[in-house]
Amino acid sequence: MSIDRNKVTIAPKSFPAYEQAVMDSGSFLAELDESVGALIWTDYSDPNGLKDLLARNPQLEFVQLPFAGVDAFQEVLAAPVRFACAKGSYREPVAEHALMLAMALGRVIPERVRATSWGRKFVASLYDANILIVGAGGITEELIKQLTPFRCNITVVRNRPGHLDGASTTVQLAELDNHLPSADWVFLACSLTDATRKLFDLQRLKKMKPSAYLVNVARGPVINTLDLVTALNEEIIAGAGVDVTDPEPLPDGHPLWSAQNVIITPHTADTNAQVVRLFSIRIRENLAAYKGLGDWVGLVDPELGY
């Protein structure tokens, strides 16, 4: 049986918005059989399920993954299939969340929301600050736009050489330690790979200024969590805002909850409603590309792992 490029399967869970996106692309939903070449996979927590499904369906040519990060799917990416992820889809809400965490830290909001007396005056402003962003994807591009009014000096650390619009300086990952000591704010917006796992351990955190802040909207394991607790409690850095943790969810009673000057949000930089709406756009775009009617968006490079 030949593949019909108008047929699409959504698994393991389907949503009305995704089904509408399939129809808007000019395709139609079908039960998975040997005539279906396109799969929309909707469960980030079940890479083994996808692996098994691919093994049973060697005819599949294209798989759309649901989130920007594909670290959970590293084994699956070895399959001879074109994979796309949602990188760039959630750039606006995630960058907005990173900016919110930074501004809240700079105005000592963790301290003030618990205060029962007038307290001290303090501010760490983003205006004219030295900003270092690790990662050069859509979140970083959007964060740079949001930081533009603050006249920041922005250094972007990326995996490959190349300029990024709005950045004052762009360097490669091997040069990270050369730029950490001058940063007032460090934002993590990179993919989780072998190169970035535990990238920020105690040794690297000690390279930051005692007045510097760390914001993580990437993946929890980019930071060694217990080392971050030490860095906060010993005032090695001034504070941290994290929307992702390792482990995740962060267990009740974990020492990070009680660390000094930390804001923890429960991986809510983008909400379910935002994800469904924005992922529907990505589905529509890439199903059109699958049929040769547009450009691919968010293709995954299996060698780079993102």
Contacts of 30 (CB under 8 A, 6+ apart): 4, 7, 8, 9, 36
Per-residue pLDDT of the chain (306 residues; tens, 9 = 90+): 799 999 999 999 999 999 999 999 999 999 999 999 999 999 988 999 999 999 999 999 999 999 888 888 988 998 899 999 998 899 999 999 999 999 999 999 989 998 999 999 999 999 999 999 999 999 999 999 999 999 999 999 998 888 999 999 999 999 999 999 999 999 999 999 999 999 999 999 999 999 999 999 999 999 999 999 999 999 999 999 999 999 999 999 999 999 999 999 999 998 888 888 999 999 999 999 999 999 999 999 988 888
pTM: 0.90
Q: Does domain 4-88+272-290 have CATH number 1.10.645.10?
A: no
Contacts of 21 (CB under 8 A, 6+ apart): 280, 281, 283, 284, 287
Q: Is there a common fold for 4-88+272-290 and 91-264? A: yes
Task: Give the start-to-end residue ranges of the domains of the chain.
Answer: 4-88+272-290, 91-264
What residue ranges in 121-230 does DSSP mark as E strands? 130-134, 153-158, 169-172, 185-188, 213-216
Cα separations in angstroms, 199 against 39, 174, 214: 34, 11, 13
From the list 107, 197, 248, 254, the catalytic residue is: 248
Contacts of 72 (CB under 8 A, 6+ apart): 44, 45, 47
303 is catalytic: no
User: Per-residue pLDDT tens for 234-247?
Assistant: 999 999 999 999 99
From the list 219, 282, 284, 285, the catalytic residue is: 219
Cα separations in angstroms, 276 against 62, 72, 82, 165: 20, 20, 22, 29
- Could you tell me the two tokens for 164? 């990024």
> Beta strands 262-264 and 239-242: pairing type?
parallel
Whole-angstrom distance, CA of residue 229 vs CA of residue 74: 29
267 is catalytic: yes
CA neighbor of 100 nearest in space, from 215, 238, 237: 215
**DSSP annotation of 175:** G
Whole-angstrom distance, CA of residue 33 vs CA of residue 36: 6
- Could you tell me the two tokens for 229? 């607790």
CATH number of 91-264: 3.40.50.720
248 is catalytic: yes
Using only C-alpha atoms, the chain has a radius of gyration, in whole angstroms, of: 21
